[in-house]
């Protein structure tokens, strides 16, 4: 596949945060920037957690205002919900029906954050196995459409990603995504997953979602990583994830 053969691929961004959570711009500003950049498919996916308090998350009490705000614009209404350590996702099924896309994000395991945490991980293999089990349980909830930054690991073991995330690990996780019809995000902020992971997604027919994971204005629509990997692997057009109702 090339962007010339499927020009829409360069005009998709399904992972954008705003000031409703930890973005530094409003929904209106995000929409204007997307229009200026020529995006045709935009999803606003702010962080949400109704099960526990975490900073920079929309809570249950602000959910309706968030949805009402997004309804004013031509965007897909989404959330990035928390994947908790036991695989629970931080949104109730009754709220899912008011959204176009529900994305799951795993941000900590064993109280170790995946960003900015220098706490040592003494058993990398055990940690990565816990990540695998947690992701699969979240997928089996039947709530998620997409999982974000699926192979991202904490600071202290990130350099070991290629060794610790084995082919067997990839196959186990992707097979679960396939069974449950959940898409894997090509996260352009963190440049994951890698080509090895994406090739197995294509082999199993798992759809791929394009997301900038933008938190700053300049990042909206910055999806070069996804576009390049899709072109290199020649991913079929029908494996590009788009929310229900796009066509």
**What does the pLDDT look like over 18-74, one tens digit per residue?**
999 999 999 999 999 999 999 999 999 999 999 988 899 999 999 999 999 999 999
Does the pLDDT at position 194 exceed 50?
yes
**CATH topology for the 7-239 domain:** TIM Barrel (3.20.20)
Which pLDDT score is estimated for 6?
Answer: 63
CA distance 207 to 243: 11
pLDDT tens digit sequence for 224-246 = 999 999 999 999 999 999 998 76
pLDDT-derived band at 96 (thresholds 50, 70, 90) equals: very high
* 68 CB-near residues (< 8 Å, 6+ apart): none
Helix, coil or strand: residue 225:
helix
- pLDDT on residue 53: 87
Q: Residue 5 has which token pair? A: 């053969």
pTM: 0.96
DSSP secondary structure letter of residue 237: G
Q: Categorize the per-residue pLDDT at 123 as very low, low, confident or very high, splitting at 50, 70 and 90.
A: very high
Instruction: Retrieve residue 2's tokens.
Output: 């090339």
Residues 231 and 247: their CA atoms lie apart, in Å, by 23
Q: Which two tokens stand for residue 158?
A: 């990130």
Q: How many helices (H) and strands (E) does the chain have?
A: 8, 9
List the one residue out of 62, 65, 52 whose CA is nearest residue 107.
Answer: 52
Per-residue confidence (pLDDT) for residue 147, from 0 to 100 = 98
Q: Give the pLDDT of residue 246.
A: 60
Give 191's pLDDT tier (boundaries 50, 70, 90).
very high
pLDDT at 244: 84
What confidence score (pLDDT) does residue 1 get?
Answer: 45
How does the average pLDDT of the chain come out, rounded? 95
Element (H, E) at 81: strand 76-82
Q: Give the model's pLDDT for residue 2.
A: 43
* Percent with pLDDT over 70 in the chain: 96
How much is the pLDDT for 27?
98
- Side-chain-side CA neighbours of 217 within 13 Å: the count stands at 10
What is the average per-residue pLDDT within 180-189?
A: 98
3-state helix, strand, coil in the chain (%, to 5): 40, 20, 45
């Amino acid at each position: 596949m090339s962007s010339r053969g499927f020009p829409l691929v360069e005009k998709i961004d399904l992972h954008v945060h705003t000031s409703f959570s930890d973005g530094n711009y409003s929904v209106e500003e995000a929409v204007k920037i997307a229009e200026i950049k020529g995006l045709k498919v935009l999803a606003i996916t702010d962080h949400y957690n109704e099960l526990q308090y975490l900073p920079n998350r929309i809570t249950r009490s602000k959910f309706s205002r968030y949805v009402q705000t997004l309804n004013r614009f031509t965007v897909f209404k989404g959330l990035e919900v928390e994947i908790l350590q036991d695989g629970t996702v931080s949104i109730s099924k009754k709220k899912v029906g008011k959204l176009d896309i529900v994305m799951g994000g795993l941000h900590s395991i064993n109280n170790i954050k995946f960003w900015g945490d220098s706490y040592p991980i003494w058993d990398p293999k055990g940690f990565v196995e816990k990540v695998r089990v947690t992701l699969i349980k979240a997928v089996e909830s039947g709530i998620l459409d997409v999982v974000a930054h699926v192979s991202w690991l904490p600071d202290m073991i990130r350099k070991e990603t290629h060794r610790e995330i084995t082919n067997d690990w990839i196959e186990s996780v992707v097979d679960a995504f396939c069974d449950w019809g959940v898409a894997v995000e090509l996260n352009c902020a963190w440049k994951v997953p890698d080509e090895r992971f994406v090739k197995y997604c294509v082999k199993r027919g798992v759809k791929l979602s394009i997301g900038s994971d933008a938190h700053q204005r300049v990042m909206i629509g910055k999806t070069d990583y996804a576009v390049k990997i899709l072109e290199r692997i020649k991913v079929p057009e029908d494996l590009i994830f788009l929310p229900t109702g796009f066509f």
